[in-house]
Chains A and B, each alone.
Chain A
Amino acid sequence: MLYSLCFLLFMIGLYCVLVKKNMIKIVVGILLMEYAVNLFLVMLGWRKVADGAVAPIAAGGDLLDKAGTVSQLFVSRAVDPLPQALVLTSIVIGLGSLALMVAICIRTYEKYGTFDITRIRRLKG
């Protein structure tokens, strides 16, 4: 059911994109959608283990056995690392598109003198 909360957050972001008139608020709405998806991806890696799951990092300690390879205990308790890699990638992509979006907003403000999209309407038809 937590997943549907993620979807709710996603929808709040979508609502923000569709309804708000301010360019910056639209950008915030897109970011909300992005974070909802990231949260969803991280939650996909969740797993229930009796003594508690561990982060998927084999940094030493009892998680490595004598031969220096990953122990069975670690494998049985670590959470799924793949969604975390996905989230990292999507954060990087989000950073790139955020920078571009903010740059476009600033440039538009320079040209039009406003962030209100109802007043930025030169293209019609």
Chain B
Amino acid sequence: MKGMTIIVKTVSSWIKVLVFLFGIYIILFGHLTPGGGFSGGVILAGSYVLLLLAFGREYAEENLPLPIASKLDCIAAFLFIALALLGFIYGAGFFFYNFLQQELMADCNAAGKLVSAGAIPLYNIFIGLKVAASLFLVVLVLSAFRSESDPTEGQE
């Protein structure tokens, strides 16, 4: 893919920042408003897909190389499980226990504040990274199906 016209390129180079920021907002406010890790991650991936459509595949791949994306994918998923296991250690043997909420941050759990809900925002961030990386990988791999990449991406 060569990319589109100059108009599309200019507009999407402005918009990509906004889309990226909106994705971050959705992830960070996931515990307060509709949204969360998955939806925010999709929007983050969307900003890269915008680049891919407007500037062509090579440009998008320069911005987020494939190996880095796949490593990010694995690391984020691993951190998610590690966080759940931390809940196991701090929460008297309970997997996924929200240990930050109950013990370490007891003063700031008023509903509606940004810093509240304990470990849930952290889970959201990891999920967001994971979804963004893997969705970007899926689109990239599918857009380049002639190259030697395996079709097993996108399982989660």
Contacts and interface: CB of A to CB of B under 8 A. Distances in A.
Direct touch of chains A and B (CB < 8 A): yes
Interface of A: 55, 57-60, 64, 68-70, 88, 92, 95-96, 99-100, 102-104, 106-107, 110
A115 to B, nearest CB: 14
B155 A103 contact: no
Most B-side CB within 10 Å, residue of A57, A99, A106, A107: A99
Contact of B38 (A69, A92, A99): A92
Contacts of A99: 138, 142, 153-155
A52 B34 CA distance: 20
Interface string B114-156: 0000000000000000000001001001100110000111111
User: Interface size class for chain B?
Assistant: 10 to 19
A102 B110 CA distance: 45
Chain A residues touching B, majority SS: helix
B112 interface: yes
Contact of A106 (B111, B145, B155): B145
Given A58-B112, A95-B154, 10 more contacts: A59-B32, A59-B33, A60-B112, A68-B112, A96-B155, A99-B154, A103-B142, A103-B151, A106-B142, A110-B146
Contacts of B111: 58, 64, 68-70
Contacts of B151: 100, 103-104, 106-107
Nearest to A99: B154
B143 to A, nearest CB: 10
Nearest to B139: A99
B145 A100 contact: no
A10 to B, nearest CB: 24
Given A68-B110, A103-B142, A106-B142, A96 B156 contact: yes
Contacts of A55: 34
A113 B33 CA distance: 47
